[in-house]
Amino acid sequence: MLGASRILKMLIQVTILTHSALLVWQFRRDLTSLAAVEHLASSVQHALERADILVNNAAVRGPASLLHELAPEHWDEVFNTNVRGVFFAIRAFAPLMIAAGKGHIINISSLASKNPVPNRAVYAASKSALNGLTYSVAEELRSHNIRVSVVCPGSTDTSFGRHPGKDTSKMLQADDIAHVVAMLVTQAPQAFVSEVLIRPTMKP
């Protein structure tokens, strides 16, 4: 989930395949704290013994600014959340998936990682870093039957995507991104979609 403060919501989805039941827990943690994320993983392991799906969706964009005028603390805030937070989450939860012999990790990036975004260089750079992290971790975990994918949405109707003059009815909705995530985690065992680019049909 998207958040504006350093204390961000992290959605950990744990699927229990007993009687076709789906259990989804939602926790609030500071993703920039390794101890907090490791405590969360430990709690999940104690309660449920495994984690099947990890969706890393928390992000901050930082202020609109020319890069040479950006305060270093804003650079750190964006990278600590958008990249370091994902690193902490994977570090904490991948061992549970390795032990289970399967799992899905979905990192939500942005088309800002693919296109120039004036005044948002730090955000674009953080999402480009997330893409590179995803590609490499996917190769590291493939032999453990863990699929690691990245989703790069375009203009989405969230607090990030609202800009004066844009038609929000033409923008992507949160359900569109959720649909992609559902598609990724329900692929046949022999199939692995490593990256998805999704944009509005009509430009908003």
Which 8-state DSSP code applies to residue 172?
B
- pLDDT given for residue 5 in this prediction: 33
* Token pair 């289970």 in the structure block, residue: 100
- pLDDT given for residue 9 in this prediction: 37
| pLDDT at position 19 over 60 | no
User: First vs last Cα of the chain: how many Å apart?
Assistant: 22
Please give the share of the chain, as a percent, with pLDDT higher than 90.
Answer: 66
Q: Which residue has the higher pLDDT, 13 or 165?
A: 165
- pLDDT given for residue 24 in this prediction: 59
Q: pLDDT per residue over 124-133, tens digit each?
A: 999 999 999 9
- pLDDT given for residue 133 in this prediction: 98
Ranked by mean pLDDT, the top range of 157-161, 171-175, 193-197 is 193-197
- pLDDT given for residue 66 in this prediction: 97
Q: Which pLDDT band, with edges at 50, 70 and 90, does 2 fall under?
A: very low
* Token pair 């991104």 in the structure block, residue: 177
- pLDDT given for residue 166 in this prediction: 82
Which whole number is the average pLDDT over 168-181?
89
135 is known as an active-site residue? no
Give the C-alpha separation, 43 to 21, whole Å.
Answer: 20
Q: pLDDT per residue over 133-165, tens digit each?
A: 999 999 999 999 999 999 999 988 887 656 677
Give the C-alpha separation, 52 to 188, whole Å.
Answer: 15
Q: pLDDT per residue over 84-100, tens digit each?
A: 999 999 999 999 999 99
| pLDDT at position 8 over 70 | no
| pLDDT at position 167 over 50 | yes
Contact at 8 Å (CB) between 199 and 172?
Answer: yes
Please give the CATH architecture assigned to the domain spanning 7-198: 3-Layer(aba) Sandwich (3.40)
What tokens does 67 get? Answer: 């890069």
- pLDDT given for residue 118 in this prediction: 95
Where are the strands (E) in 44-94, listed by range? 53-56
Amino acid letter, residue 94: A
Q: Which pLDDT band, with edges at 50, 70 and 90, does 78 fall under?
A: very high
Which whole number is the average pLDDT over 53-75?
94
Contact at 8 Å (CB) between 130 and 148?
Answer: no
- Catalytic residue of the set 92, 123, 125, 130: 123
Q: Which residue has the higher pLDDT, 8 or 90?
A: 90
Biggest CA-to-CA distance, the chain: 56
